[in-house]
Amino acid sequence: MLINFILIVVVLLGFVMILMRSITKKKEQKVEQEIELDDKTYTLEKMTEFVKRRLDEITKINLYDIGLSEEELKRRKKKKYELKKALKGCTYGDVNDKKYVKELIYDLLLKEYGVDETNISKAIPFDIPSLLTDQDKFDILIYMYKKEFGYEALTQLIKKYNLAVLKYISGETKPSYVITGDEISDIFEKEQLVISFADKLNVVVQRIYQHYKGYSTIDEVRDMNIDGVSGGVSGLPESFLSQVAQTDGDYLDQVLENKVPRACDSIWIFFQGKSIRLAFLSFGTESELKRVCQNIYKYNNPGQLSDTNGYKINEMKDGSRVVVVRPSFSETWAFFVRKFDVKRATLEQLIVFPGKDKAIDLLKFLVKGARIISLTGEQGCGKTTMLMGMIENIYETMNIRVQETAFELHLRKIYPTRNILTFRETETISGQEGLDVQKKTDGSVNIIGEVATDPVASWMIQAAQVASKFTLFTHHAKTFPNLVTALRNSMLRTGVFNDERTAEEQVVQVLNFDIHLVKDFRGRRYIERVTECIPLEDKNEYNFDHRKEKTLEGKMDKFFDNATHYFTKVTDRQLYKYVNIMEYIDDEYVLTNKISDQNIKEMRANMDETDMEAFDKFVEENWGVTVSAAQGKAPTKRGRKPKQTV
Q: In this structure, are 334 and 350 located in the same domain?
A: no
Side chain identity at residue 87, one-letter code: L
Mean pLDDT of the chain: 83
The answer to whether residue 102 sits within a structural domain is no
Backbone angles phi, psi at 321, to 5 degrees: -90, 135
Lowest mean pLDDT across 72-86, 259-273, 378-392, 542-556: 542-556
Q: In this structure, are 435 and 568 located in the same domain?
A: no
pLDDT at 420 over 70: yes
Tens digits of per-residue pLDDT, 110-130?
A: 988 888 888 888 889 998 888
CB 228 within 8 A of CB 235: no
By percentage, how much of the chain surpasses pLDDT 70? 84
Tens digits of per-residue pLDDT, 250-298?
A: 555 555 555 678 888 899 999 888 889 999 999 988 999 999 999 999 8
pLDDT at 34 over 50: no
- Give the whole-angstrom CA distance, residue 283 versus residue 139: 14
pLDDT at 294: 92
pLDDT at 284: 87
Q: In this structure, are 494 and 546 located in the same domain?
A: no
The residue ranges of DSSP E strands in 536-643, in sequence order, are 576-585, 588-591
By percentage, how much of the chain surpasses pLDDT 90? 34
* Higher-confidence position of 162 and 543: 162
* Higher-confidence position of 287 and 461: 287
**In the structure, what pLDDT confidence band is assigned to residue 17 with cuts at 50, 70 and 90?**
low
pLDDT at 11: 66
pLDDT at 467: 66
CA dist list (Å): 562 to 544, 548, 570, 631: 9, 15, 13, 35
Q: In this structure, are 331 and 399 located in the same domain?
A: no
Q: Which residues pair with 262 in a beta bridge?
A: 236
- Give the whole-angstrom CA distance, residue 95 versus residue 223: 8
Tens digits of per-residue pLDDT, 485-541?
A: 999 998 898 888 888 888 888 888 889 999 999 988 777 889 999 999 998 876 666
Residues 616-627 have a mean pLDDT of: 87
Q: In this structure, are 393 and 488 located in the same domain?
A: yes
Q: In this structure, are 239 and 385 located in the same domain?
A: no
Q: Is 438 left (phi over 0), alpha (psi -120 to 50) or beta?
A: alpha
Examine the fold and report which residue of 288, 314, 339 is the final residue of a domain before the chain moves on: 339
Examine the fold and report which residue of 316, 339, 362 is the final residue of a domain before the chain moves on: 339
pLDDT at 638: 37
Q: In this structure, are 293 and 171 located in the same domain?
A: yes
Q: In this structure, are 543 and 532 located in the same domain?
A: no
Positive or negative CA dihedral for 381, 237, 212, 114?
negative
CATH code of the domain in which 532 resides: 3.40.50.300
Q: How many other CB atoms are found less than 10 A from the CB of residue 145?
A: 20
pLDDT at 218: 93
Nearest to 224 by CA among 69, 339, 353, 360: 339
**In the structure, what pLDDT confidence band is assigned to residue 630 with cuts at 50, 70 and 90?**
very low
Burial classification of residue 399, based on how many CB atoms lie within 10 Å of its CB (0-12 exposed, 13-18 middle, 19 or more buried): middle
The answer to whether residue 87 sits within a structural domain is no
- Give the whole-angstrom CA distance, residue 453 versus residue 471: 17
Q: In this structure, are 173 and 322 located in the same domain?
A: yes
The answer to whether residue 5 sits within a structural domain is no
DSSP 399-453: -EEEEESS----HHHH-TTS-EEEEE--SSS-HHHHHHHHTTTT-SEEEES---S
Q: In this structure, are 423 and 477 located in the same domain?
A: yes
CA dist list (Å): 450 to 93, 102, 345, 403: 25, 38, 18, 8
The answer to whether residue 39 sits within a structural domain is no
Segments forming the whole domain that contains residue 485: 343-536+575-593
The answer to whether residue 162 sits within a structural domain is yes
pLDDT at 645 over 60: no
The answer to whether residue 126 sits within a structural domain is yes
* Higher-confidence position of 174 and 53: 53
Lowest mean pLDDT across 14-18, 405-409, 440-444: 14-18
Tens digits of per-residue pLDDT, 214-247?
A: 999 999 999 998 889 999 998 888 766 655 555 5
Establish how many alpha carbons lie within 13 A of residue 280's alpha carbon, considering only the half-sphere containing its beta carbon: 17
The answer to whether residue 105 sits within a structural domain is no
Residues 408-420 have a mean pLDDT of: 84
**In the structure, what pLDDT confidence band is assigned to residue 76 with cuts at 50, 70 and 90?**
confident
CATH code of the domain in which 218 resides: 3.30.450.90
pLDDT at 133: 92
Q: In this structure, are 606 and 490 located in the same domain?
A: no
pLDDT at 238: 72
CA 588 to chain centre: 28
- Give the whole-angstrom CA distance, residue 646 versus residue 626: 6
Q: In this structure, are 453 and 569 located in the same domain?
A: no
pLDDT at 437: 83
pLDDT at 604: 92
**In the structure, what pLDDT confidence band is assigned to residue 35 with cuts at 50, 70 and 90?**
very low
CB 153 within 8 A of CB 224: yes
The answer to whether residue 94 sits within a structural domain is no
Query: How many domains does one find in the chain?
Result: 4
216 DSSP 8-state letter: G
**In the structure, what pLDDT confidence band is assigned to residue 636 with cuts at 50, 70 and 90?**
very low
